[in-house]
Amino acid sequence: MILALLAVLQVARPAPAPPSATPGDTLPRVTLAEALRRAARVDPDYVRALGRIDNAEWSRRAARLAFLLPSITASVDATKYSTEFFNIGTGSLQSTAVTGRLTAGYELFSARKFVELGRSSAELASAEAGELEQRFLTALETERDYNAVLAGQELARVARERVRRAEEQLGVARARVLSGAAVQSDSLQLVLELVRARAALLNQESALRVARLQLGRRIGEDRAVDAVPADTAPAPELPLSLPEAVAAAVAQGPTYQAARANERAAEAQLRAERGGYLPEVTLAAGHARFDNRFFPGARNVSSVTLTVSLPVWNQGAREIAVSQARVNRDVFRAIREDLERAVRRDVTEAYDAYTTARATVELQTAAVAAARENFRVQETRYRAGATTVLDVLEAQLRLTEAEADLVQARYATRLALAGLEAILGRRLFPDEDVP
C-alpha cells in the first residue's frame, strides 16, 4: 500500500497555470533600453516634470517680453437703453451706443519686471533639475521591475531544477526500497521534498507572472511583458573611487541640483514679493471710438497717461505674501543643507552596496560550485548505500539555496548600480542602446 502511494505521488504534477496566464515564450519581449524609453513616456511623475519645464519656459519668455512689448487690450461694446440719451459720438439723442477701445500700457519702471525675470529663470533651472532627477528615478523604478522579471525567470529555473532532482531521487529511493536496500521512510522523506519543491515552483511561477504584469504596466502595456535575458558576465569594477563619486554627486547629482535650484527659486520669489514695496511708473495710451452702430467711427478720442503709483497698504496682503515667501525660502534652504550633509552617507551607501553585491556574486558562484559537487558526492554515496537519505536531502537543499542566493546577488548588483547612477545623475558604463 505504501509503495502504491509512492507511485501515485511520483506521477503527480503541479496544478496548471491559471487560464489567463500567458506562457513566457509567447509574451512580447522588451530590452532594457526599450523599457527605459517607453517608461519615460508614460510615467506620470516624469510627464509632470516635463510639463513643469514647459510652464517655466513660458514664464521666462513672458518675463523677457515684458521688457519689449506693452500690454494691449481691445474691446467693443454695444448698449441699448430704455430711453434716449445724448450720444457723445453722434451728438444727438439716441437709445443705442456703441463704443470701441484700444488700450496699451507699458511699465517704464517696475522692480517687479526685474525680479520676475530672475524668478522665472530660477524656476526654469529648478524645473530642469527636477526633470533630470525624475528621469533617473523613473529609470531606477523601470530597472527594478525589469530585473524583477529576470530574477523571477532565474528563480523559476532554480525551482524547476529542484523539482527535477527531487523526482530523480524519488525514483532512486523507490528502486532501493523495492530491492530491500533501503527502508520505506527514505521514499517518504523524498516524497515530502518533492511536494515542497512543487509548491515552491508554483509560488515562484506566480511571482513571475505578477512581475511580468508590473513590467507591462511600467512601460504602458495593459498585459504581461517579458524581459530579454541579460548578460550574465561578471559586473565590472566602478570607474571612479568613493571620493570621486561623492564629489560628482555634489557637483551634478540631480537631487542636489534640484535642491539648490529650488532654494534659488524661493529666494527669487521672496525678492519678487518684496518688490511690492517699490513705486511703479506706467505709461498708458488709449484710443476710443463712439457711435450708435458697428464699427463705431462717429467720434474718436485718444489719450496718453503717465501714472506713478506707490502701494501703501492693502490690508496686509503684501506682508503676508512676503512672510510666506520667506518661510518657503528658509524651508528649501534647510532641505538643501540637509541633503549636502547627507551626500557622503548616501553615496557611500550606494557605492558599498554595489561593491558588496559584486563581491557576493563571486562568493556565491564558488558556493554554487561547492554545493553542486557536494550534492553529486552525496547522491553517489546514497546510490551505493554509503549514506542516508537525510544527507542527500540536506545537500539538495543547500544546492537550491546557493543557486537562489546567486541569482539574488547578481540582480542586487544591477539594482545597486542603478541606484548609484540615480544619485550621480549619469551612466557609469555608457551603452549606446541605453538612454
Phi, psi of 372 (to 5 degrees): -65, -40
C-alpha cell at 339: 541633503
Spatial distance between the Cα atoms of 38 and 30, rounded to a whole number of angstroms: 10
pLDDT of residue 20: 42
Number of helices (H) and strands (E) in the chain: give both, helices first: 9, 6
**CA distance linking residue 171 with residue 194, whole number of Å:** 11
Cα separations (Å) of 9 from 3, 5, 164, 396? 10, 6, 14, 19
Sequence-ordered list of residues with C-beta below 8 angstroms from that of 350, at least 6 positions apart, any chain: 416, 419, 420, 423
- pLDDT score, position 179: 66
Nearest to 156 by CA among 36, 20, 21: 21
Q: What's this model's pTM, rounded to 2 decimal places?
A: 0.80
Cell for 35? 523599457
Answer whether 415's CB lies under 8 Å from 142's CB: no
Closest-CA residue to 397 (of 215, 132, 181, 200):
200
Write down the pLDDT at residue 234: 82
Residue pointed to by grid coordinates 570621486: 244
Q: Along the 435 residues of the chain, how does pLDDT read in single tens digits?
A: 445 445 554 455 544 444 444 555 688 999 999 999 999 999 999 999 999 999 999 989 988 888 888 999 999 999 998 888 888 888 888 889 999 999 999 888 877 788 888 888 888 988 898 898 899 999 999 999 999 999 999 999 999 999 998 888 888 777 766 766 655 676 778 888 889 999 999 999 999 999 999 999 999 999 999 999 877 778 889 999 999 999 999 988 888 988 998 898 899 889 888 888 888 889 999 999 988 888 888 888 999 999 998 888 888 888 998 999 999 999 999 999 999 999 999 999 999 999 999 999 999 999 999 999 999 998 888 887 778 888 888 999 999 999 999 999 999 999 999 999 999 988 888 764 555
What residue type is assigned to position 315 of the chain?
Q
Taking the alpha carbons at both ends of the chain, their separation in whole angstroms is 64
Asked if 428 contacts 239 with a C-beta cutoff of 8 angstroms, the reply is: yes
**Measured CA distances, 202 to 120, 167, 414 (Å):** 56, 16, 26
| Neighbour order of strands in the sheet with 71-87 | 71-87, 92-109, 280-291, 299-309
CB 336 within 8 A of CB 258: no
Q: Give the chain's radius of gyration (CA, Å).
A: 37
What pLDDT does 432 receive?
Answer: 44
CA angle 428, 432, 435 (to 5 degrees): 70
CA distances from 299 to 78, 100, 333, 375 (A): 15, 10, 59, 106
Least Cα distance to 227 among 27, 15, 2 occurs for 27
Cβ distance 163 to 201 under 8 Å? yes
Q: Helix (H, G, I), strand (E, B), or coil: what is residue 21?
A: coil
d(CA 256, CA 253): 5
Question: What are the cell numbers at 120?
Answer: 522665472
Between the CA atoms of 420, 39, 143 and 254, what dihedral angle is there, to the nearest 10 degrees?
A: 0
- Round to whole Å and give the CA distance between 98 and 292: 5
Query: Cα–Cα distance between 12 and 198 in angstroms, integer?
Result: 10
- CA-wise closest residue to 414 among 230, 243, 153, 249: 230
Alpha-carbon distance of 44 to 141, in angstroms, equals: 13
CA dist., res. 390 & res. 131, Å (int): 58
How many of the other CB atoms lie within 10 Å of CB of 173?
Answer: 26
Phi-psi region of 316 (alpha: psi -120 to 50; beta: other; left: phi over 0): left
pLDDT digits (tens, 9 = 90+) for 314-357: 888 889 989 999 999 999 999 999 999 999 999 999 999 999 99
